[in-house]
Amino acid sequence: MKDSNGAQYRFTLAVRLSHWIWLLAFAVLVSSGLQIFNAAPYLDASDASNPARRVLSIDSPQDGVGTTTLFGHTVKTTGWLGWTDDGEGGKTARAFPGWITIPSYQDLADGRRWHLFFAWVAVLCWLTWIVSSARKGNLREMLLSRSDLPKLWPMQAYYLRLRKTPPPYGTYNPLQKAAYTLIGFVIAPLVVLTGLALSPGVDAISHPLTMLFGGRQFARLWHFAGMLALIAFFCVHVFQVATQGVVNQMRSMITGWYRGEHA
Amino acid sequence: MKRQLFIATSISAALAGCAPIGTALNDNAGVRKVLASVEGIDDAFIGSSGALAREYRESDVAPVFRVNGFATPSDANYRGLLASYYAKYRLVVDGAVERPYAFTLAQLRALPQSTQITRHDCVEGWSVIGKWSGVRLGSVLDAVGPRSNAGFAIFHCMDRDDSGTPYYESLDLRQAYHPQALLATSLNDEPLDPDHGAPVRLRVPTQLGYKSAKWVNRIEVVENFAHIAGGNGGYWEDQGYEWYAGV
B26 contact A CB<8A: yes
Instruction: Select the residue of A48, A117, A207 nearest B62 (Cβ to Cβ).
Output: A48
pLDDT in tens, B36-72: 999 999 999 999 999 999 999 999 999 999 999 899 9
Share of chain A above pLDDT 90, in %: 74
How far is the alpha carbon of A32 from chain B, nearest alpha carbon, in Å? Answer: 10
Q: What is the pLDDT of residue A1?
A: 66
Q: Which residues of A touch B205 (CB under 8 A)?
A: 200, 204
Q: What is the pLDDT of residue B20?
A: 83
Mean pLDDT check: name the lowest of A30-34, A106-110, A253-257: A253-257
Q: What is the pLDDT of residue A137?
A: 77
Q: List the one residue out of A149, A147, A140, A111 whose CA is nearest residue A32.
A: A111
How far is the alpha carbon of A76 from chain B, nearest alpha carbon, in Å? Answer: 24
Nearest CA in chain B to A204: B53
Q: Do B122 and A120 touch (CB under 8 A)?
A: no
Q: What is the pLDDT of residue B12?
A: 67
pLDDT band at residue A111 under the 50/70/90 scheme: very high
Q: Do A100 and B51 touch (CB under 8 A)?
A: no
Q: Top-level CATH class of A8-38+101-258?
A: mainly alpha
pLDDT band at residue A108 under the 50/70/90 scheme: very high
Q: Are A221 and A55 in contact (CB under 8 A)?
A: yes
pLDDT in tens, B190-223: 999 999 999 999 999 999 999 999 999 999 999 9
pLDDT in tens, A117-128: 999 999 999 999
Q: Do B46 and A205 touch (CB under 8 A)?
A: yes
Query: In chain B, where are the structural domains located?
Result: 54-239
Cross-strand partners of B203: B182
**Cβ atoms < 10 Å from Cβ of B91:** 20
Residues 99-138 of B with CB under 8 A from A: 119, 121-129
Q: Do B54 and A204 touch (CB under 8 A)?
A: yes
In the predicted structure, residue B164 carries a pLDDT above the cut 80 = yes
Q: What is the pLDDT of residue B1?
A: 55
pLDDT band at residue A243 under the 50/70/90 scheme: confident
Q: Are A163 and A206 in contact (CB under 8 A)?
A: no
- The verdict on ipTM greater than 0.85 is yes
Query: In chain A, where are the structural domains located?
Result: 8-38+101-258, 41-99
Q: What is the pLDDT of residue A157?
A: 92
Q: Mean pLDDT of all residues in chain A? A: 93
Q: In the 8-state DSSP scheme, what is residue B150?
A: -
pLDDT in tens, A53-86: 999 999 999 999 999 999 999 999 999 999 999 9
Give the DSSP H/E element, type plus range, for residue A212: helix A207-212
Cα–chain center distance at B138: 16
What does the pLDDT average to over B133-150? 98
Residues 168-227 of B with CB under 8 A from A: 205-208
How far is the alpha carbon of B57 from chain A, nearest alpha carbon, in Å? Answer: 13
What does the pLDDT average to over A170-192? 92
Contacts of B14 (CB under 8 A, 6+ apart): none
Mean pLDDT check: name the lowest of A259-263, B101-105, B229-233: A259-263
Cross-strand partners of A69: A57, A74
Q: Do B246 and A104 touch (CB under 8 A)?
A: no
A47 contact B CB<8A: yes
Q: What is the pLDDT of residue B155?
A: 98
User: Higher-confidence residue: A226 or A239?
Assistant: A226
In the predicted structure, residue B107 carries a pLDDT above the cut 90 = yes
In the predicted structure, residue B18 carries a pLDDT above the cut 90 = no
Q: Do B34 and A117 touch (CB under 8 A)?
A: yes
A217 contact B CB<8A: yes
Q: Which residues of A touch B122 (CB under 8 A)?
A: 40
Probe site for chain A from B2, B3, B15, B23 (most A CB atoms < 10 A)? B23
pLDDT in tens, B176-196: 999 999 999 999 999 999 999
Q: Top-level CATH class of B54-239?
A: alpha beta
pLDDT band at residue B8 under the 50/70/90 scheme: low
Q: What is the pLDDT of residue A262?
A: 60
